[in-house]
Structure 1
Amino acid sequence: MDLVLIRHPEVAVEAGVCYGQTDVPLRRDVRELASTLTTRMNALSVPACIDGWHTSPLRRCASLAHALATGTHVDARLSEMHFGAWEGRKWDAIDHALVDAWAADIEHARPHGGESLAQFADRVLAWFRETCADRDGAVHVIAHAGVVRVLAAHLLGVSRENALQWPLDFGALAWFRRVRGQWLLVRWNA
């Protein structure tokens, strides 16, 4: 089984703003982005999407999924982490003591009033278990950096805290393959 995860392309939001589950638009035309992504996936020999794209309902993901295929599976469990009171605020305008408290217990702290990393991961992994557990064919997903990193940590058996530090560009591809029950990383940030 192959799991192909695509981070949404660049959004029309000022740099340095925490936007988690805030529904923001893409910076560029979605048809152009879909064409570029299709070309890149073909060049990388990514398995074809037969069963439709799975996507977050947030338009920065869903609009691209809809442009790529007529069959999409929209699932709120693929939404980015909810940052509560920090949503829409500049990171440097958030009280540094609150950010430090969050960093000190990244797995369970929720000084913003939104989701903890553990709650977020539980939601994403529930989608994964339901969608990918007994599947043989490829699953294609348009999601958020947090979703991709949480799934990568789970599949590769590394800590979520470490995976959150991995670079992942807008529009980047992460491709995993299950071979004899073991998940392998085929491509990261491609």
Structure 2
Amino acid sequence: MSGILLHLLRHGITDAEGRLIGRTDAQPLAAGVQACVSRAAGLAVAAVVHSDRTRSSVPARQIAAVMSLEACEDARWRELDFGAWEGLSFDTIDAEALAAFQSDPAHHAPPDGEAWSALVARVSDALGTINRPTLVVTHGGAMRAALATLCALDFPQLWNIALPHAALLSLRVWPGTPRVGQIIGLVT
């Protein structure tokens, strides 16, 4: 079996640049939406899925319309909930707490925020429903959670993969338990 193609596309720039936004909704900027639409051009997929945040749903709907597909919402692809850090800029967060989170989010979740393991669990659950070539318009954290699940990467390795806005990560995924994936491309 040749596996299933899965494309993960990070949403484009928003009106909340420079701040931590997970559960918070942010409006996508036109340039960010266009960057996503351009990045997805030419992909051969049978489904377009997006998180329940506007910054993902707007470009996903435009991409799906170009592809004559329906965009399907799946909240499991939402970004990590940053709790008390939601909406804050990095320079306003306690540097020691932020460094602990960035080096080991599994043991240092944001105050009142979501644990890394919870994000990985819900993304892993969403991955279990992928059964055909699919484009998912999502968030950087969810993309890293997918890589942790499919490619068994640990967090230091995940931070070394640059996922700027409108980054497209393509994987070949094999069904089964556990699901296994192979990175076949990253366009930033």
TM-score by length of 2: 0.83
Aligned-residue offset at 1:84 = 0.4
Distance 1:102 1:36, change over 3 A: closer
CA contact (8 A) 2:11 2:32 kept: no
Aligned-residue offset at 1:67 = 1.0
Deviations 1:29-67 (A, max 9, x none): 57644542343xx2xxx3x2223x111010010011111
In structure 1, the partner of 2:83 is 84
Alignment of 1:1-190 (within 5 A): 1-15=4-18, 17-28=19-30, 32-33=34-35, 35-39=37-41, 42=42, 46=43, 48-51=44-47, 53-69=48-64, 70-103=69-102, 105-129=104-128, 131-132=129-130, 135=131, 137-178=132-173, 183-190=181-188
**How large is the RMSD of aligned CA atoms in angstroms?**
2.3
For 2:161 and 2:32, the matched residues in 1 are separated by 26
Aligned to 1:167, the other structure's residue is in SS state coil
Runs of 4+ in 1 over 3 A off after TM superposition: 29-35, 178-182
Deviations 1:131-155 (A, max 9, x none): 12xx2x2021000011111111221
Q: What letter corresponds to residue 184 of structure 2 in structure 1?
A: V
For 2:51 and 2:166, the matched residues in 1 are separated by 14
Unaligned runs of 5+ residues in structure 1 are none
Unaligned runs of 5+ residues in structure 2 are none
Q: What letter corresponds to residue 159 of structure 1 in structure 2?
A: D
For 2:153 and 2:100, the matched residues in 1 are separated by 23
Aligned to 2:126, the other structure's residue is in SS state helix
